[in-house]
Structure formats: structure tokens, C-alpha cells
Structure 1
Amino acid sequence: MSQQLQRLEPTRNKMAIPPYLVISFLTIFAIGAQYFSNLSYVLNQGVIQNGLHISSDDLLLPSILSNLAFALGVPLGPVLTRQLGLRRNYLLFTLIFLCGSVIDVVSTGIVTLSIGRVVQGFGSGILFLTILPVSLRSFPNKIRNLFLLMIITGLFGASALGALCGSLSLYTDSWRWLFLFNVIASLLCFIIGYFGLPRQEETVQEQTRIDKKAVVLLCATILSFAVPLCRLTNEGFSSLYVWPFLGIGLLLLGLFIYVDQKAEAPLVPFRTLKAAKPVSGTIMAVVSHASLIIAIAGINGFLQHNMDLSYLHFVYFYAWFFVGIIGSAILKTLLYDKLGAGVLGMLGSLVVLYVSFQWMVIETDISLPFLYFQIACLGCGVSMVLVSGALGTALAGDIHQASMRSATLHSIRNFIGATLSPLVGWLLLRQNTIHYQEIKQHVNVEEASSQLEGTVKKSAILGAYHDLFTILFILGFIMFVASVVKMTTGKGRALVQK
């Protein structure tokens, strides 16, 4: 892969564009398009439901299946890159993502929409570790810290932009134009990648054979989890479509880990995380990713069900989320080499703890400017911890194993993220029911007016969100402890080498 980067030099002379800018563009628009879709879908599910005339029970299916497909593609990306080469692999799966985007644009029902999202998820999952490590290595040493500015603003910014555009779709009452953005992004990536990536890649030296048993077990594991996760929110763990398949999925997951570790070139090399420095960094990245999922699900639900805000307020809200991400990108770029991943992770964790503590007792009378400030803080804190943990893990130890540590971390992170979203949905429904029953015990049901009934329902769902933000506070504390451990192991390798 490093030899491929050296071959980008002639491309720079032809195009008069620095190679790292080309690779940065190919990274942001290829991976960011998936993040954009994920967050925009969270906001505009109601618009899609009305447009396609589908039931509310089916709304989560495209999102769950897309996240699982992404999690499947992440560990396969490096394997396919070694087999096909950077250019061919990137162009192939950019084209696949484009096909998925087109299917979404012309979707006529939940089946076609789910197929399109699965194709998108798998394509972008393969692209994730195909192009992201190349992006870091493409930056010259003197300005390598600008990689952080690019990765945080570009990828986290794509999520914030997706949420913002999803809010706008509530006003326009249309949603297909959001997937048109993905079509445009993948077309640009294909065209620029076709001309910008090296045509003459290095000759393949030793071709490590793909362990087909591990690949089959990984696919079987993801498929086994797909069934219960799609059913969990509406049917709970007691359903015969949930707990048996979860048990099978866990058994297959354990078998995959066992078989994969016996392989000559494992898909997920867990053995590279056998030290305190990479383990603490992995915990930082994984837990911060989980915190972001919980925070967005909780605060978005609170705004929709308890605040009754207009679409314009949603736009402002997620615009401030983007502001917080930009602030994090600037701070990380300036301070990572000076302070290290541990210290920055501690600072980000403290910010998450502050926000989650405030949201544990959030009420409907909160002022909107204060809420905008808090979401900006959350965006800054979570992105700071996640990127610190991910980069700190990759750069911990032998630099030649950096890509393997990164592959392990991101495989774990995305698998847990894919399984967490439906769990959050199930937990919210469960806690809402519990709080509703508790409140109804103190209300005379026969004399209760419809207005009082509405108040009871709002109080119940608010209690469920408080419970969710309590979990967010616990995760913030775990991030803080992991960051402290990371700090005690030393500042680690700097991005810009002297």
C-alpha cells in the first residue's frame, strides 16, 4: 500500500493537485455518504413512511440492515484490497454504492428501500478500510496533523450534515433528494478515483490466501443477528424470532473468533490488542461510538415528542452539532501531538459527562439556546474521544501493525454500533411502558380527560429518555477511565515526526 502511495507522485504532476487532497476527497465522499444517509434517515422516517405508505413497524428495517451490512464490509475491505489492489477495489465498491443509491432513489416500498440501503452499507463498509488508512499515509509528514481536521470535519461533519438535511426534509415533505446526494457523491468518487488513483499498482508479492471458513462464519454471524435485531424493538427478547437467533448468533460469533485467530491472516486480528495502550484506545473509540448513538436517539426523540419544535429549530439544533464537531477538529489538529490521545480523551469525556448529567434531568422548559450549546458540546466531546481512541490505538506499538490494530478496532466498533441501535429502540419502548404504568397508578383512569392522558404519555416518554441519558452518563464515565489509562501509558507516537 505504501508503494501505491509513492506512485501517486506522477499523478500530482499531471493534475497539479497534491495527492493527499485527492485521497482526502475520495475518503470523505465515499465514507461520508453512508454517514450522511444514516443520520438523515433518523430524522425523516415519518416522511418516508408517508411517501411509501409503509407501517411504522418496518421503518427500522433499512437502517438496521444497512448498519449490519456496513459492519460486515469493514473487516473484508483490507482483504479485498490485498487481492484486487487499491484502485480496482475502490472503483468496484464505489460503483456498488452508486447502484444502492440509485435503488433508494427509485424505491417503491420497504423491500426496495431496504435492498438499496444494504447495498450502500456493504459498499461503504468495504471502502472504509480500503481508503481510510491510505488517506493518513498520503499526508506529508510536516502537515500530517491536518489529517485530523479532514477526518473529523469530513466524516463526523457528514453525519451532522445528514441530520441537518433530514430536518429540512421535514419541511419539504420529500426524501428522495437526500439519496440523490449519494448518487452525486459516488459518481464524483468514481470519476476522480478513475483518474486520480494509480493505474500501475505494485505487483502482488505473496498472496495470502483468504480463510474461506472465517468469511463464511462472519457472514453467517451477521445474518443470524439480522433476524432478531429486526424483530427486537417490536417483539422483545421473549419472541421466538429473537432469543433463539441471538443465541445462534452468539455461538457463531464465538466460533468465528476461534477460527479466525487460527488463520494465517485473520480478518479481525484481535491479538494485536494485547496491551494496555491499544485496549484503552479501543474502549475509548467503541464506547464513544455507542454514546453518540444513544445521545442522538435520546435527544432527537425528546425534541420530537416533548418539545414539539418546528423543522427550523431542528435545523438550528443540528447546525450547532456541526459547529461542535468543527471545534473538535480544530482542537485535535492543534493539540494531538502536544497532549496525546489520553489527555484529549479525558477532556472530551468530561464534556460528555457534563452534557449527560444535564440531560438526565432535562425538562421541556429548557431554553433552546442552552440546548444548542449542549449539542455543540456533545458533538465536540464525542468526536474528540472517538478519534483520540482510534488514532491512539493505531499508533500504539509497532507501526507496521497499525493497520491491523485499526482493522480490529473498527470491526468491533461498527459491529457493536450495528447491534446497539435496535437495543436502544427496545429499551425506550420498555422504559416508556414502565413509566406509563407507574404514572397511571396515581391517575383515576375513568375520570382522566384526553388532555390528561396526553400529559401522562409525555411524562412517561420523558422518563424513558432520562433513563437513556443515565446510561449515557455511565458510558461517559467509562470513557473517562479508559482515557486516564491511555494517558498513564504515555503520550504515544506523534503524527508529525521530528
Structure 2
Amino acid sequence: MNKQLHLLAAVIATGLLSFSGVLIETAMNVTFPILIDQFHINPSTVQWVTTMYLLVIAIMVPLTNFLLKKFAIKPLFIIANLFFILGLTLDLIAPNFTTLLVGRFFQGFGTGIGLPLMFHIILNFAPLAKRGLMMGIGTLTTSIAPAIGPTYGGLLTTNYSWHYIFLFLLPVLVVSLIIGLYAIPLQKVNTASTLDVAHLASLAIFFTGMLMFLNEPTQLLNIGLLMIGLLAGGYSIYRANSSAEPLLRLNVFKNRAYTTALLSFLAIQALFLGGSFIIPTFIQISLGYNAFIAGVVMVPGALVSALLAPVAGRLLDQVGAKKPIIGGLTITALGVVILILACIEQSIGLLICAHVIYSIGTGFAYSNLMTAGMNAIPTAEYGDGSTVFNTLQQFIGAVATTVVATIITITQAYYATLSTGTSYGTLIGLGCLLILIVAALLSCVFFFKKAPLK
């Protein structure tokens, strides 16, 4: 029992760190129209508040895979926590947009260590029979953040200032640090591991080049960065297959069950991050409500999705992966269709209903896809499998946010009024996200006919 309590406390400690990062991410989304006005920037620029953060995490997660082999997990957790606190402090006093981005950089650094650390603890210390439940609890700590993030950000921004979003998270990080000092074990490590610097650099160049291009795809400079990024991506694949100790081993992609679960998981992640940008922006610009109302609208659905995570994990432990995953993706697709109709009708009541429906679906499918994917690979590949999941999770989130922000920026420039342009951009963005969810559903349905995920 004592071991179980320590495991739960360790998951909560690392989960609170990740929770804080996701909370700020979704809380800041409702402030974007205010930041655009305050700093005199456009939607493509302001989305770097999210993209910078996710980009740093996408780079840090594979690096953390190496750090977990080189250093004990407790000091890694402490470093991650302290860097996050530094980022909070910088954003609390940020007088300009550049300082705000620097703070987001340090927060991404901390979360980039804390997030894989949480799943590392679950996969290495939780018994297989309870892994679904523990993954659900771990996901709960991060997925509940979107439930309160928009309201939290909207309330503070409307009544005080967006700077207060960072102030009130400092005590959460202190609590996380105290729990972690008590509960996180000092695990033995392989000190002979060496860092593949070339692999890390090529991954960073690939991620950056892709996001720069997606942010402004018509600029000649960004087209050049895309070419450089693609070359770096090819070299990264080469390093993964030829290096003695690559940051990311790609052998996990040979496992079809793992790959199917991963791609479907990424489709939901794109919906999470793309939707968290689209919906508050549409509510404020097209419907004319303030940031607080935009946040409140997101609460019911996000709460449902968060609270379903441990329930869905327990269901997977009992009946397997097929029913919660297929059912969840079907409900998600239905919810996005209704959301598109709600935006066409400009009905905030129908929008809330649609968000709740697709959140029910994601609640059943999201964490279970990761659990099923990890269960499909050998124990020796857990580190690589988890790293790929967490790296691409952050990268696809950054891509989704960048793409929908770019779509809305383009449509705003094309139409005569900001409201009309935002409405059409919202519909196009949601249409793209719906295609991803339907593709994920069909791929899982087809796969389960061949060989079931565990």
C-alpha cells in the first residue's frame, strides 16, 4: 500500500507540473484578442505564445529520454520545476511580447521534462493490471487544466490583467515541488549514455523549420526554412537508424498496433489544441463576447473530458481497447459536426452542447489510445515509445495551433469585416480537424478487424 501511495503521489507531483503548463496554455488562448490589441500584432504572431511553448516541449521530450538514462529522476524533476517557476516569474512581470515569449520558453523547458517524467514513472512502476487506471489519473491531472484554464484566464484578464494568470500558479508549483521531494524515487541510471548532439540539433531544426513555414507559408524566407527543415528531418531519420544511442529510436513504428494508436491519438491532440484556439477566438470576435464568457463556454466540455479519463482507463483494463476507442472517436466526430453547425448558426448554446459531446468522445478515446499503443510494444521499448508519443503530441499541437491561426489570419484579410473573416476561418479550421478525426476513426475500425489492440 505504501508503494501505491508513493506512486500516486509521484504521478500527482509531475502531473501538477504538466497541469500548470496546460493551464497556462489554454488560459492564454482566451487572451489572444487582448494581446493582439495591446502589443499591436496579428493572430499569426500571437499564436507563438502557444507555439513557442509547444516547440520547446517537442525538442525537450526526446532530450529528456536521454536525461532519464543519464540522471536520477528526482533531480530532473527539481530542475524542471525551478525552470518553470522562472518562466512564470518572467511572464508575471513581462512588459512586452518578447519577454512573454522568453517566459514561455522556460515554461516549455520545465514541462518538456515533467511530462515524459510522469509517464516514465507510470510505465516503470505501475503494475500492468492497473496501468490503464494510472494512465487515466496521469491524464486527468493534465486534461482537467483545459476545464478551468479558459475560465481562469478569462476571469483574471477581464477583471485584472493577463499577468495574474502566472501569479496564481506559483503556489501550485511549490506544492508540486514539495510532493515530488517526498514521493519521487531515486532510480538507478546508466551513466555510460552519451548525448547524440547531431540528432538533437536536426530534430530542433526540423520542428522549427516546419512551424515557421506553416506560420507564414507565402514568405520566401520561410519556404527556405521549410527546405532546410525537411533536410534536417531526413538527417534525423538517418541518425535514428545509424547512431549507437539515438534520441529517438524509430523501431516502434514497425509495430502496426502502436502506430495506429499513435496517429489516432495525434488527431485528437490536434483537435484539442486547434479547437482551444478556434473556439475562444470565434466567441470573442464573431459573437462579440468577452474573454471571461469565452472561457466559461469551454468549461462543461473540458470538465467532462477530464473526469472521464480515469473512468475510461478503468474501462480499458476491464473490457479492452476496442469499445472505448471506437466509441470515443465516433462521438468525437459527431460532436465536431454539431460544432460546425453551431458556428454556422452562431448559437452559443448549441456550441456548448457540441463541445460537451465531442469532449465525451475524447474522454473515452484519448488516454486509452496512448495506453493501448504502449501496451502493444515490448517493455524494452517503453522509453522510445513514450518519447515518440510525447514529442509528437507537442509538435502536432503546435502545428494545429499554427495552421488554424494562419487560416483565420488569411480569411480575416480576405473579407471586409473582421467578424466575417473569423467566422469563415473558423469553419475551414474545424473542417480540417473533422477530416483528421474521421481518418483516425476509420483507421482504428479497419485495424480492429485485423488484430485487436490490447
TM-score by length of 1: 0.83
Q: Are positions 1:59 and 2:20 aligned together?
A: no
Which protein has the larger Cα radius of gyration, Structure 1 or Structure 2? Answer: 1
Q: Point out the more displaced range, 268-277 or 311-320.
A: 311-320
The amino acid of 2:228's aligned partner reads I
Q: What's 2:167 paired with?
A: 180
Deviations 1:336-356 (CA, angstroms, capped at 9, x unpaired): 123333332211211122122
| 1:125-164 pair list within 5 angstroms | 125-139=112-126, 143-164=130-151
1:468 to 395, 418, 429: 429
| 1:322-401 pair list within 5 angstroms | 322-363=302-343, 365=345, 367-401=347-381
The amino acid of 2:145's aligned partner reads A
Deviations 1:81-101 (CA, angstroms, capped at 9, x unpaired): 211111111111221111111
Work out whether residues 342 and 485 of structure 1, in 8 Å CA contact, stay in contact via their aligned partners in 2: no
Deviations 1:409-461 (CA, angstroms, capped at 9, x unpaired): 22223222223322221122324445x3xxxxxxxxxxxxxxxx65xx53443
Mark the CA change 1:289 to 1:326 in structure 2 (over 3 Å): closer, same or farther. Answer: closer
Shift of 1:312: 5.2
Does the residue aligned with 1:210 lie in a helix, a strand or coil? coil
| 1:435-450 pair list within 5 angstroms | 436=415
Shift of 1:197: 2.5
Does the residue aligned with 2:321 lie in a helix, a strand or coil? helix
Shift of 1:155: 0.8
RMSD of aligned Cα (Å): 2.6
Q: What's 1:208 paired with?
A: 193
Shift of 1:217: 2.1
Work out whether residues 326 and 441 of structure 2, in 8 Å CA contact, stay in contact via their aligned partners in 1: yes
Mark the CA change 1:216 to 1:397 in structure 2 (over 3 Å): closer, same or farther. Answer: closer
The amino acid of 2:371's aligned partner reads L
Work out whether residues 345 and 479 of structure 1, in 8 Å CA contact, stay in contact via their aligned partners in 2: no
Shift of 1:388: 2.2
Q: What's 1:198 paired with?
A: 185
Mark the CA change 1:144 to 1:255 in structure 2 (over 3 Å): closer, same or farther. Answer: closer
Shift of 1:270: 1.4
Q: Are positions 1:299 and 2:279 aligned together?
A: yes
Q: What's 1:93 paired with?
A: 80
2:438 to 469, 472, 477: 477
Shift of 1:369: 3.8
The amino acid of 1:123's aligned partner reads G
Q: How far apart, CA to CA, are the structure 1 residues paired with 2:397 and 2:9? A: 29
Work out whether residues 345 and 389 of structure 1, in 8 Å CA contact, stay in contact via their aligned partners in 2: yes
Q: How far apart, CA to CA, are the structure 2 residues paired with 1:429 and 1:207? A: 49
Identity %: 18
2:27 to 35, 40, 51: 40
Q: What's 2:59 paired with?
A: 72
Shift of 1:79: 0.7
Q: What's 1:220 paired with?
A: 205
Q: What's 2:258 paired with?
A: 278
Shift of 1:78: 1.8
Shift of 1:402: 2.5
| 1:96-115 pair list within 5 angstroms | 96-115=83-102
Mark the CA change 1:432 to 1:171 in structure 2 (over 3 Å): closer, same or farther. Answer: closer
Shift of 1:36: 0.8
Mark the CA change 1:322 to 1:461 in structure 2 (over 3 Å): closer, same or farther. Answer: closer
Mark the CA change 1:217 to 1:326 in structure 2 (over 3 Å): closer, same or farther. Answer: closer
Mark the CA change 1:361 to 1:205 in structure 2 (over 3 Å): closer, same or farther. Answer: closer
Mark the CA change 1:215 to 1:169 in structure 2 (over 3 Å): closer, same or farther. Answer: same
Work out whether residues 306 and 364 of structure 1, in 8 Å CA contact, stay in contact via their aligned partners in 2: no
The amino acid of 2:168's aligned partner reads F
Shift of 1:289: 0.9
Mark the CA change 1:367 to 1:54 in structure 2 (over 3 Å): closer, same or farther. Answer: closer
Work out whether residues 290 and 420 of structure 1, in 8 Å CA contact, stay in contact via their aligned partners in 2: yes
Shift of 1:135: 2.9
Q: What's 1:247 paired with?
A: 227
Q: How far apart, CA to CA, are the structure 2 residues paired with 1:403 and 1:380? A: 30
Deviations 1:14-49 (CA, angstroms, capped at 9, x unpaired): xxx811221121121111111111111111134445
Work out whether residues 89 and 103 of structure 2, in 8 Å CA contact, stay in contact via their aligned partners in 1: yes
Q: How far apart, CA to CA, are the structure 2 residues paired with 1:151 and 1:163? A: 21
The higher relative CO (CA closer than 8 Å, separation ≥ 6) is in 2
Aligned length: 452
Q: How far apart, CA to CA, are the structure 1 residues paired with 2:88 and 2:270? A: 26
The amino acid of 1:73's aligned partner reads M
Does the residue aligned with 1:360 lie in a helix, a strand or coil? helix
Q: Point out the more displaced range, 181-190 or 363-372.
A: 363-372
TM-score by length of 2: 0.91
Deviations 1:222-260 (CA, angstroms, capped at 9, x unpaired): 44456545xx3xxx4221331111111111111111112
Q: Which runs of 5 or more structure 1 residues have no equivalent in the other structure? A: 1-8, 437-452, 494-498
The amino acid of 1:65's aligned partner reads M
Mark the CA change 1:459 to 1:44 in structure 2 (over 3 Å): closer, same or farther. Answer: closer
Shift of 1:362: 3.0
Work out whether residues 332 and 437 of structure 2, in 8 Å CA contact, stay in contact via their aligned partners in 1: yes
Q: How far apart, CA to CA, are the structure 2 residues paired with 1:471 and 1:99? A: 37
Work out whether residues 27 and 135 of structure 1, in 8 Å CA contact, stay in contact via their aligned partners in 2: no
